Amino acid sequence: MSRSSFLFTSESVSEGHPDKVADRISDTVVDLFLKKDPEARVACETLTTTNLVVLAGEIRGKGIMDTNGEWAPGVKEEIEAAVRNAVREIGYEQAGFHWNTFEFENHLHPQSADIAVGVDASGNKDEGAGDQGIMFGYASNETPELMPATLQYSHNILRALSEARHSGREPGLEPDAKSQVTLRYENGKPAAATAIVVSTQHKEGLDQAAVAAIVKPIVKSVIPAGLITDETVWHINPTGVFIIGGPDGDAGLTGRKIIVDTYGGAAPHGGGAFSGKDPTKVDRSAAYAARYLAKNVVAAGLADRCTIQLSYAIGVAEPLSVHVDLHRTGKIDEDLLEAELPKLIGGASPRAIRKHLGLNAPIYARTSSYGHFGREPDADGGFGWEKTDLVEKLKALAAG
């Protein structure tokens, strides 16, 4: 039996965290290639370390690279320019990692022909999933964003710190940062913040007290009133100094922050990362679809919490299974949702998901930090999986 009163913790990391730098670079490559060919295939991995960025992975697309591995004219130069600009936008102009001077290596190569033949549509065969795997989507009504509160507040802290840094309001802050929020839940709802941890990279000359004086007001501005109390425990830069950070302080790799990217540990995760992958990869697109469906179920008032699992086999279009768990809070039969939810997006094949959510567009670099979920949909289709446009259909389904 699940408890109604407990402590729970989630963490987030900023756009300047070395793993997030890698995610941003990989998704920048995805966006660049989708601009050239909306059907491009991309699996781009990035390594970052002291003054070095390395790309590796498999790609395919018109105007990008042919099957012999020959780049289209000017594309290699475009890639490097886009990667350097991504790092510049994050804000790295440090001796150990500078957008204009880091060494750059590009080892992207053509997609495997064996994978291509299995996943491409041909004849009467629909496009198959790009790999086997399980994907989860989750929503909870504990925040307006229908996200776990511990993760949402952790993201909000770092986004506010980033805005203060980028605006010039707090010039002592540097790009690398981490946050962690522990909440006490009573009757299943957030009641108080018992602990808040923030570690942020800073310029020389700021001591721990000066950093805390910057951070605490920002945290208090984004945590709902009443959750922070006199009993809240604060840890601001608990090591005392955080000057060396980012890829100079620790190596970064694409896809190492999958819990930060999703639900902060409040829901299961299938194990597949998102960044660096085009939307034919169900690791990304099916996880977005599962979140979309779960969010609409909760937004329709049919449950307080909803977890959805989808599973796929490489080369097979339709999901092998659909599982819905309303965590004993549902106002509709779960087996009915399992049968009907895929129909709302055209069957939940990779192609149907991409079409319904408009995923064949350069909308991914913006997802690489502060969560892929719990965001406002953009006019150009970015975060389209956060829309709640299925609510009325789901209410009608529940009404019979």
Q: Output the 3-class SS for 264-330.
A: CCCCCCCCCCCCCECCCCHHHHHHHHHHHHHHHHHHCCCCCEEEEEEEECECCCCCCEEEEECCCCC
CB 12 within 8 Å of CB 177: no
Q: Is 97 a known active-site residue?
A: no
Instruction: Give the active site residue among 11, 15, 19, 386.
Output: 19
pLDDT by residue (tens digit) across 361-378? Answer: 999 999 999 999 999 999
Q: Is 102 a known active-site residue?
A: no
Report the amino acid identity of residue 65: M
The yes-or-no verdict on residue 124 having pLDDT over 60 is no
Instruction: Give the active site residue among 251, 313, 361, 398.
Output: 251
Q: Is 20 a known active-site residue?
A: yes
Q: Is 220 a known active-site residue?
A: no
Buried b (16+ CB within 10 A) or exposed e, 94-132: beebebeebeeebebebbeeebeebbbeeeeebbbbbbe
Q: Tell me what pLDDT residue 103 has.
A: 98
163 CB-near residues (< 8 Å, 6+ apart)? none
The yes-or-no verdict on residue 86 having pLDDT over 90 is yes
Q: Is 45 a known active-site residue?
A: yes
Instruction: Give the active site residue among 165, 202, 257, 372.
Output: 257
Q: How far is CA 393 from the centre of its chain?
A: 27
Report the amino acid identity of residue 76: K
Q: Is 17 a known active-site residue?
A: yes
Q: Tell me what pLDDT residue 122 has.
A: 46
Q: Tell me what pLDDT residue 120 has.
A: 58
3-state helix, strand, coil split of the chain in percent (to 5) is 35, 25, 40
Q: Is 257 a known active-site residue?
A: yes
Strand partners, 45: 56
CB 234 within 8 Å of CB 207: no
The yes-or-no verdict on residue 115 having pLDDT over 70 is no
Q: What value, to the nearest 5°, has the Cα angle with vertex 3 and ends 2 and 6?
A: 135
Strand partners, 184: 7, 192
Instruction: Give the active site residue among 11, 131, 283, 325.
Output: 283
Instruction: Give the active site residue among 84, 155, 281, 284.
Output: 281
Instruction: Give the active site residue among 41, 84, 165, 277.
Output: 277
Using CA atoms, how far apart are residues 39 and 367, in angstroms rounded to an integer?
A: 20
Structure token pair of residue 336: 């009915």
Q: Is 283 a known active-site residue?
A: yes
Domains, the chain, ordered by start: 6-14+148-244 (3.30.300.10), 18-119 (3.30.300.10), 133-141+277-399 (3.30.300.10)
Whether the CA torsion 286, 261, 386, 83 is positive or negative: it is negative
Q: Three-state DSSP class for 225?
A: coil
For residues 19-31, average pLDDT? 98
- How buried is 234 (Cβ within 10 angstroms: 0-12 exposed, 13-18 middle, 19+ buried)? middle
Structure token pair of residue 197: 């941890």
Q: How confident is the model at residue 126 (pLDDT cuts 50, 70, 90)?
A: low
Block residue for tokens 């198959």: 128
Across the beta sheet with 103-110, the strand order is: 103-110, 52-60, 41-49, 252-253
- Range of lowest pLDDT (127-131, 151-155, 223-227, 247-251): 127-131
CB 218 within 8 Å of CB 160: yes
pLDDT by residue (tens digit) across 179-228? Answer: 999 999 999 899 999 999 999 999 999 999 999 999 999 999 999 999 99
In angstroms, what CA-CA distances link 61 with 39, 72, 128, 206?
A: 7, 10, 18, 48
158 CB-near residues (< 8 Å, 6+ apart)? 12, 13, 14, 177, 178, 179, 369, 370
Report the amino acid identity of residue 357: L
CB 129 within 8 Å of CB 119: yes
Instruction: Give the active site residue among 256, 291, 356, 372.
Output: 256
Q: How confident is the model at residue 101 (pLDDT cuts 50, 70, 90)?
A: very high
Q: Is 36 a known active-site residue?
A: no
Q: How confident is the model at residue 39 (pLDDT cuts 50, 70, 90)?
A: very high
Q: Is 256 a known active-site residue?
A: yes
Percent of the residues in the chain that have a pLDDT greater than 90, as a whole number: 90
Structure token pair of residue 225: 């009133």
Using CA atoms, how far apart are residues 388 and 233, in angstroms rounded to an integer?
A: 36
Structure token pair of residue 55: 């790309």
DSSP 16: T
For residues 320-336, average pLDDT? 97
Q: Is 121 a known active-site residue?
A: no
CB atoms within 10 A of CB 345: 17
Instruction: Give the active site residue among 24, 84, 165, 178.
Output: 178
The yes-or-no verdict on residue 125 having pLDDT over 50 is no
Instruction: Give the active site residue among 250, 334, 338, 340.
Output: 250
Mean residue pLDDT of the chain comes to 95
pLDDT by residue (tens digit) across 266-301? Answer: 999 999 999 999 999 999 999 999 999 999 999 999
The yes-or-no verdict on residue 157 having pLDDT over 50 is yes
The yes-or-no verdict on residue 1 having pLDDT over 90 is no
Structure token pair of residue 184: 């006490």
For residues 316-331, average pLDDT? 95
Q: Is 277 a known active-site residue?
A: yes
Q: Is 120 a known active-site residue?
A: no
Q: Is 3 a known active-site residue?
A: no
Instruction: Give the active site residue among 8, 11, 15, 17.
Output: 17
Q: Are strands 189-202 and 228-236 parallel, antiparallel or unpaired?
A: parallel
For residues 152-162, average pLDDT? 98
Instruction: Give the active site residue among 8, 20, 202, 278.
Output: 20
Q: How confident is the model at residue 93 (pLDDT cuts 50, 70, 90)?
A: very high
